[in-house]
Amino acid sequence: MSANNNRRSFLTASATMAAGAGFIAIAPGISLIEVSHARPAGEAASKANRWGMLIDSNKCTAGCDACVKACSTENRINEQVADPRQRSQWIRKIDIKDKASGRQHSLPMMCQHCAEPPCVDVCPTGASMKRADGIVLVDRHICIGCRYCMMACPYKARSFVHQPLTEQNPEVPRGIGCVESCTLCVHRVDKGQLPACVEACTEGAMLFGDLADPNSEISRRIAQEATTQVRADLKLNPGVRYQGI
């Protein structure tokens, strides 16, 4: 019995240490746990994962846009557009103020990677789609540019490419006449890396992880701390959660 107890304690301690080590960065953008999550090329995304994010608005500084810049650099969203209303924004900083109390927050807003995404429901061709691991994407090959998904998104998270594009990142195909939005840096996640915005946030306000893994840090924090789903009333079950609002 004692031996069994010791063995159990050892296994528990080992698992805890491994989980802890998983969040130790071994190089910029790569940590041990993430390397273990990298999928071999050709292997389909799995329902065993649900990638998501926890954003702590208490740690997010007003005026800081490191996440926005990192996204623009990574995904080459740098085209010059005469009308700023026509410029693509995959992630943006929103300043919010409570009308009653006057309390203010600043937070990044992007595609919330809903479990029940309205954009996927309304897309006539199926170009808007949700991967098995919960990442909501637009298939560039079958998007016809009808913008119905933009009408349906409650978060204003989607942009329409209003002009020809050049100098794209080969891993992030974009195109004139198509709708696009945050991909959760799927090309990086599939390699076991963090989304560019999360990596760039020096305040530690953005935590990326697997919501389907009860032992992941994001799951543990969501289980233990008060978090918010934006427009929770719509019951879309977003993969991005917030704290402090």
Partner 1 sequence: MTTILSARADTPKFWLLAAIGALVSAIGIGAALYMEHHGHSVTGMNNQIVWGLPHVFAIFLVVAASGVLNVASIGSVFGKTVYKTRGMLAGLLCFAMLAAGLVVILLDLGRADRIMVAATHVNITSVFGWNMILYPGMFGIVVVYLWTLMEKRMYPFSKPAGFAAFIWRLMLTTGTGSIFGFLVTRQAYQSAVIAPMFIIMSFAWGMAVFMIVQKAMYRWNGMTLHPQIRARLKNLLAVFVGAVFYFVAIYHLTNLYFARQVEFERFILLDGGIFPLLFWGGWFVLGTVLPLILIFTPALSKMSGSVTLASLFVIVGAFCQLYVFIIGGEAFPLDIFPGMTTSSSFFDGQVDQYSPALPEWLLGIGGLGIAFTMVVVGVRVLKFLPEDNIAKLQASGALAD
Q: Which residues bind partner 1 (CB under 8 A)?
A: 81-89, 92-100, 109, 118, 120-127, 141-148, 150-156, 158-164, 176-179, 230-231, 233-234, 245
Question: Which residue lies nearer to partner 1 by CB, 105 or 221?
Answer: 105
Residue 33 Cβ vs partner 1, minimum distance, rounded to whole Å: 32
66 neighbors 108 (Cβ within 8 angstroms):
no
Angle at 128 between CA 229 and CA 110, to 5 degrees: 35
Nearest to 175 by CA among 184, 167, 165: 165
Q: Is residue 182 within 8 Å of 157, Cβ to Cβ?
A: yes
> Which residues, 6+ apart, have CB-to-CB distance to 131 below 8 Å?
45, 137, 186
Say how many C-beta atoms besides its own lie within 10 A of residue 45's C-beta: 17
Buried/exposed code over 164-176 (b: 16+ C-beta within 10 A; e: otherwise): ebeeeeeebebee
Whichever of 194 and 201 has its CB closer to partner 1, that residue is 201
Least Å from the CB of residue 127 to partner 1: 8
Nearer residue to partner 1 within complex by CB, 64 or 245: 245
Task: Give the Cα separation of 96 and 47 in Å (integer).
Answer: 34
Q: How far is the CB of 125 from partner 1 (least distance, A)?
A: 4
CB of residue 1 to partner 1, shortest distance in Å: 56
Residue 141 amino acid letter: H
Give the nearer residue to partner 1 in terms of CB position, either 17 or 144.
144
Half-sphere exposure of 245 (CA within 13 A, CB side): 24
- Which residue, 175 or 192, is less far from partner 1 as judged by CB? 175
For the CB of residue 153, give the shortest distance to partner 1 in the complex, in Å: 7
